[in-house]
Amino acid sequence: MESQSQRDRRTDALGDLRLLPDEILCTILERLTPRDAARVACVSSVMYILCNEEPLWITLCLKGASGLLQYKGSWKKTALHNENLPDKYKEYHRGPLYFDGFNSLFLYRRLYRCHTTLEAFYADNGNVERIKDISLSLKDFYNEYDAKKPVMLTGLADTWPARHKWTTDQLLQDYGDVAFKISQRSFGKISMKFKDYVSYMKVQHDEDPLYIFDEKFGEAAPNLLKDYSVPYLFQEDLFDILDTDKRPSYRWLIIGPERSGASWHVDPALTSAWNTLLCGRKRWALYPPGKVPLGVTVHVNDEDGDVNIETPSSLQWWLDFYPLLADEDKPIECTQLPGETIYVPSGWWHCVLNLETTIAVTQNFVNSNNFEFVCLDMAPGYRHKGVCRVGLLALDEDSYENVRQNMSCKEKDSSYSYLSRKEKRAKTQKDVDDLYCERAINGASRSYNLWKDGFSYDINFLSMFLDKDRDHYSSLWSSGNSIGQRELREWLSKLWIQKPKMREIIWKGACIALNADKWLECLSKICAFHNLPPPTDDERLPVGTGSNPVYLVGNSVVKIFVEGGLEASLYGLGTELEFHSLLHEANSPLSKHIPNVLASGIIYLENGSYNHLSWDGKGVPDVIVKNNLISKICNVNGFSFGVWGKKQLEYRNAGMLVDGSVSLDGHSSIWPYMITKRCEGNMFAELRDRLTWEDTTKLASFLGEQLCHLHLLPYPPLNISSFSDIENDLSVVEANGCIATINCKSNAAAEWGLFTRTLTKMRKDVSSRLTKWGDPIPSKLIEKIDEYIPPDFAELLNITENFGNHASKPCSWIHTDIMDDNIYMKPSLVCSTTSGKTEDSTMVDNGSLSNYEVKSWYPSHILDFSDLSIGDPLFDLIPIYLDVLRGDSYLLKQFLESYKLPFASNISRYESTESDQKFGRLSYVAMCYCILHDENVLGAIFSIWEELRSANSWEEVELTVWGELNNYKGFP
């Protein structure tokens, strides 16, 4: 008879769960909270075993962790400590229980990895080419290695202070109390004091240990930046031209114990990198671009092109996957020793395993050789992103056939062309790998880039996979891109101006990322139609960072409307023209500070040639009528595409995360445009760092005055009958099960109703939108959205059937986009005379400043009214306060003192009860607008006020950011 000790306890201890393999059970347990995992451990003996595994507790601990972390000797103790449990529940003195009759190969393998030592895990020479001195010239590096193949270099760091100062003991002495960021495959933003991290390293037995990977180490410990310098081979970095707060992360301090490392990846934005090791040994494995390592899965998002990678940990790959590879399929590999620098080219897959405690510094960079690849990675669409990482395996059947048909005869003769897509998908990993390049490790450098199957890591070849129908200015932006759209446009514009010798390559990159060649052709035709001088070489690239191509041509500014597709573009131009008409009819003081409109019209491609028609915003352009492109047009005062039609479009699209290129389908060759007078002076964005405090204060007052004029300007009345498609004249609102009634007998109520109902629609998907934007928006605050913002925004502003009786504040024109590149400033000059005397002047003779010195700058114009809308003027404070004033409460106060008007919320708020006190705060209304904004306003907030990333409530964020508004009373 079988003894009790030999009986398998799994059946009795797990019940029906015994059908699941241990790996699945452990994955399920990782979804629990620490408290629930502790409770489940009491269910049975096997659950006790599974719920006391350290790999489970590191996941549970880090999943909910943020901020400063202290390791308490085990991950279970650390997690329970973070739960703030009473001491009697922390099990410091209770020994573990042991049970026989249970075996798990999965748990054994994981335990084995956690206790693996790597002293003998060493590739003596490897097959990465090594250069043993610093005699390599910059020219030879560019010709032989740059953007072509990896190389290991010695001697580059010999003179660095870091060579002898960056040891664990010395760093502990100098920076023990400094907190560094920790990298681990979790969502939390974790940091540890270096002394706590060293203590953790000494006692840990983790399969994938915590790893210092800190891109902000220069801010945390500035003296570390003095201990090394960028090697002479890598000093060209085209991202240097961006301000520090706008350039992507590019340098990291890397410290990790044995078994830690970086799992398989391609560096962001297809940048190249150098990595210098100061202490310890690292084992590297690399594959050429497009060759996906065994065990790695790549997912490409079909909407925005974002690429996600599923990969085992570095240690697991080396232990479980590397031994399965035939010799000819193994990666290029080597062991890096202290003082050595490895160069990793653009697009190369690489994986790093620390064989002992290591300390290193690394930087990514963009130079002339990989610039076009970086532009390609940020171009809209998705096929090219997948191809850059996994080669032609990223293509579906149709895309593959299209590429095959476009290949040259020579390429079609290759073995690749004989395979159908279906056959290729069905092949084994080894057979698929056999299609890739023959690795001549010590052969010609181009052998890494030319592959037998016709795939070449060449910019002209990769550009074939760009989605030509997806325009940069109107397509969804990939969340995985290293910089945002505004930063990309600013980057290319700055490069164009400041590096004229590189314009040939900058132009190529701009054509890839911005469709610059297409827009230049449009611009040239518009200039010809209006007898403007053709654009010069200096004027070929769009200026500014906005969502529409804008060009400076002589004394004129040409703006081509593309944002949101054709319909949105027509309403954008139509509304702006309607606004200019009313502005001059009212003889508003604001008109002096807005550039005059010189011409407007539509340019379109027909039968391969450009055609043009003038359009002043009234009526419907013939090309639109002829092609029946717009289904419904709201006609108001002759402006068929005026502001109320635009508001109706905003309502229809509210809350919809739609790729803008969809609206261009079928008519992506029609573009409205406008020509305005060019302003003298400079954009505030270019001057910000050169302005005095007095200049900036005057700007805040200027904006207050002009916003007052804007918000007092009459706007066209709403014709309610033209909005019959919006649910019975705005009479019923449904949002999250809440129904609110608006009486539309009052025009004011209908106008406010349209504004608030649009916000209520946007509320429905706010959590998913913020989750998609992610960092730096705290996830714990996203979870509290529903309890913070109201279900119905009519309630927020007290828009009821009695609205017209007690609220005297109507809606207002709102600009919605007054940012630092939409403000122009002129110099106030001091004229220097030969006698040494000076004379104040604000005039510039023929634009020459040769005889003048700039005394100060004063604001002169506000630009770009294509985002005009009608609604709550409080909305206009968001970009002004966050972007222009950078969250300075004193400047906000200066703005409000000049603005003087009451906000709608000042008037329409009602008596608050204890349960709805927040409805009486202007700060609450402003915070709700920020949360619902269709731009990532919260990202800006948590970047300006970094301390709020650890905030526990939206109220805390609200009062920190917008608290000054609660002191504002409007009219003195």
What are phi and psi for residue 718, nearest 5 degrees? Answer: -80, 130
How far is it, in rounded angstroms, from Cα 558 to Cα 598? Answer: 10
Q: Which of 543, 494, 479 is nearest to 516 (CA)?
A: 543
Which DSSP string do the residues of 378-436 spell out, in sequence order?
TSSSSHHHHHHHHGGGG--HHHHHHHHHHS-HHHHTSGGGGS-HHHHHHS-HHHHHTTS
How many Cβ atoms sit within 10 Å of the Cβ of residue 916?
14
One-letter amino acid at 67 equals: G
pLDDT value at position 187? 54
Calculate the dihedral angle through the C-alpha atoms of 393, 395, 398, 404, rounding to the nearest 10 degrees: -60
Is the pTM here over 0.75, yes or no? Answer: yes
pLDDT on residue 201: 95
φ/ψ of residue 569, rounded to 5: -65, -40
3 state DSSP class of 262? strand
Q: Determine contact, residues 163/339, Cβ cutoff 8 Å.
A: yes
Listed in order, strand segments (DSSP E) in 219-357 are 251-256, 261-265, 272-279, 282-287, 297-300, 307-310, 332-336, 340-344, 349-354
Encoding tokens for residue 345?
């080219």
pLDDT confidence of residue 183? 83
Residue with token string 């391609």: 266
The pLDDT tens digits of the residues spanning 915-926 come to 457 877 899 999
Q: Token pair 């590879």 is at which residue?
A: 325
Query: Shortest CA distance to 617 belongs to which of 582, 575, 583, 586?
Result: 575
> Is it true that domain 9-115 has CATH number 1.20.1420.20?
no
Q: Let me know the angle formed at the C-alpha of 803 by 578 and 801, rounded to the nearest 5 degrees.
A: 110
Residues paired with 539 in a beta bridge: none
Query: For the chain, which residues make up each domain, given as ranges?
Result: 9-115, 130-368, 561-658+667-678
Q: Which segments of the chain have a pLDDT < 50?
A: 1-2, 409-452, 636, 657-666, 727-745, 801-808, 834-835, 838-848, 908-915, 972
258 vs 296: CA distance, rounded Å = 23
Give the separation between CA 714 and CA 579, rounded to whole angstroms. 10
> What pLDDT is attached to residue 6?
62
pLDDT recorded at residue 66:
74
Query: What does the alpha-carbon distance between residue 80 and residue 52 come to, in Å, rounded to a whole number?
Result: 12
Q: How far apart are CA 533 and CA 603, in angstroms?
A: 18
Q: Which fold has domain 130-368?
A: Jelly Rolls (2.60.120)
| Best CA proximity match to 896, nearest among 872, 927, 873 | 873
Question: What tens digit of pLDDT does each residue of 890-930 get?
Answer: 999 999 999 999 887 655 444 444 445 787 789 999 999 99
